Structure 1
Amino acid sequence: MSFASAPVRDPAVPSAGSWRDVYIAATAKGVSICGDFLAATTLVLTLQSAGAGGLAVAALLLASTMPLVLLAPVAGRLADRVDSRTLLVTAGLGQAAICVALALVSQPVAVIGLVFLLSCGLAVSQPVLSALIPAMVRRADLPRAGAINQTAGTVGALLGPALAGLLVGQFGTTVPLLIDAASYGALVAAGLLLRTRRGGRAAAGATVPADRAAVEGWSIWRDPLLRAMVVSVAAVIGVVGAINVVAVFFVRETLAASETMYGVVEAAWMVGLLAGAWFCARLARRARDDAALVGGILLLLGATCLVLPVAAVVGAVGWLIPLWVVGGAFNGGENVFAGVVVGNRVPEAVLGRAFATLGGAIQGASMAGYLAGGVLADRVPIRPLVAGLGVAGLVVVLWLVVPVVRMTRRERARAAVPEPVTADGRGAGLATSSVTG
């Protein structure tokens, strides 16, 4: 079973941590994500209110996503090789300065360029924080730690759009962007307060010969189960991701809702995300194995897609709130399951690379969705488009069922062979399974 108990990491090892560090890292993530969503929603609302079309919104979203894809290989290696404290402090200070500049400019080209730079910092800080969580706790506690981390991120994402809807309506663009700049101080504080550290001297002290042998030539794409998980999530997001562009036009124009209500609808998804994360954290602890979690991810992806055709027929924006809560709950479950699978199967020394690769693949798929949304929102009636996106996502999920089931069966057959256990409690197959497929 994937969640067999593992020994607590040796406190003498520099990368060892505690629940205190889990909460510090989660708080930093929550505050910074609140700022991210505050800025993103502010800028999207500003563009829509100024009469910009789908392509302009898509361009903004692409600028916020592209660095996460382009920099994924570099950011992952930085997260594994450079002191996490240095990376968090540097990224936090840099993002704060960029947000201040965003508050002072209004030219669309300058705004999009600064958003691109802002996302470069996120491309670095995101895998650093993600890789620190598995280093803080034993494997049996990963679902709980992952749920805490997602809870903080969800609360931040919940508050960000709601604050943006309120602040933009009352004060315009400048105030929310300055608040966003202040939010990145949380990354700086986390970098200084966290006892758990990765990269730099911490990585050198924590790496043992067995670890070096395990990670040599490692790639997330060479683990068949991880590959199936990443491809499944990315494929569905690539089809359904256009909703991120379309939603603002659906809420503001088709349903004639206010800027504040748009923020409330976006926040409803985050409420569901939070509930789904905690519920699925319990399920993850009882899961038969990693293969069961990957199957669960595919099921949750299909359920998320089902929400969109229902949403397309509502007559008032109020109906979107419960639907978005349900969709967010499925989304939250997917995130927890995926985080646990990565934490279980990836050697500790390359966790940063793994999370950066996963994030890059997903964000790359999101970029395809943004481009499609930008083109379609200006050419296709919005209601049929929302329904069509959900149906297209379901088709992709059904297409993936057979290969994913086949892969999970192979994984269980391979895992049935007894494996030696390494010093950190991971089965040797978890470290070397990347070369079996």
Structure 2
Amino acid sequence: MNQLDNDILISVEGLSKKFCKDLKTSLWYGIKDLFLGVTGNRNNRELRPKEFWALKDINFQLRRGECLGLIGHNGAGKSTLLKILNGLINPDAGKVTIKGRVGALIELGAGFNPILTGRENIYNNGAVLGFTRNEIENKIEEIIDFSEIREFIDMPVQNYSSGMKVRLGFAIAAQMEPDVLIVDEVLAVGDVGFRIKCLNRISELLNKCAVILVSHSMPQIARICTNGILLDKGKTSLLTNDVGLLVEKYYVTFEDNYKSNEINPFGITIKDFNVNGRSIKENATLNLKHGEDIILSFKFVCPSDIENFSVHLPITDDQMIHVALTSSLMNLGLTKNNNQLVSVDCKVPCLFTNGRFYLGLTIIETNINENQYTIGKTLFKKENYIKFFVKESPLTTSVPVLLNSNFVIKK
């Protein structure tokens, strides 16, 4: 066995787990399985009525120094896999081999005795991880400092808020330096400062242990994971060392969710919508380099009872967070309406990080009163009108910005 094999801390082979949708039937199956287990007959691995595979034939290895991102939609099998790895439930088929101590933060407050204090729970959880009392005492001050709840450490955990439980749970799991650290989505409960602190701590731990991180936050996955698994209905949809590809495939599974309904109370018709010379009816996806321009052109008719209007183009990222906005108000001010066909041309600079973005279209009734713009009715709104990918960007982060675009509106 070579040195690389010695560093394998988790090995999962052909792992499968089935559940039953009905409690009464599940109890009956459980009795039958118990009898079959006693008699030595373990051949019944096929699905029975009302059963389904929560996990089916999962295989992977994780070495020291690696962080596995485990992603997928709700119900994909992530929590079931983590519970098997942590020894909370047994698989129906397959084999799991884990070397060393395992620290897990799977469910909020899991493993805490609510009537004991935070300090007492530190000793309890440390003992479960296999540490001696002396080892825990050597670490307890670091744990309390990391959790940032020293003021409440001698208060019963049942009086802790959700965020305080996460702080204490992660501090115990991380500061005790296990060989394998399993972290579920519970970090989403903590405030942003503590989440950053936790992610930095995970990065430090990668020098000494293997980490499995479950998160619906793709920036978190992309930041610290070295490889990953995309689960879909209990099966491995993708196992890869290319975390960028993993995140992209994850978003593709939710492609239909990004389709936006129109808000169009006045029946505006958008005509001849072109992006970089291509009709949007072709369902074109743009591939842009940082610094290139998105050239838009379209036509519409504004309702006759609207005196003035403005055109706005909001841009969101894959997390549906607004990263930019450009508006005709920035260089044209108000546009008078005479109920004629309006032609809009606009050049939007591409000043974003690498990734996928969506550009929307909003037309709003806009008036001026005492030298201030006032926003009236929304005439037309559609988010995610255009999808575009940005490549070769030197930027690592995006902040919301107002883009100075060149609008030309003609009638």
TM range (shorter): under 0.3
Q: Which has the larger radius of gyration?
A: 2
Normalised to the residue count of structure 2, the TM-score between the two structures is 0.21
Q: Which has the higher helix share?
A: 1
Q: Which has the higher strand share?
A: 2
Normalised to the residue count of structure 1, the TM-score between the two structures is 0.20
Q: Which has the higher contact order (CA 8 A, sep 6+)?
A: 1
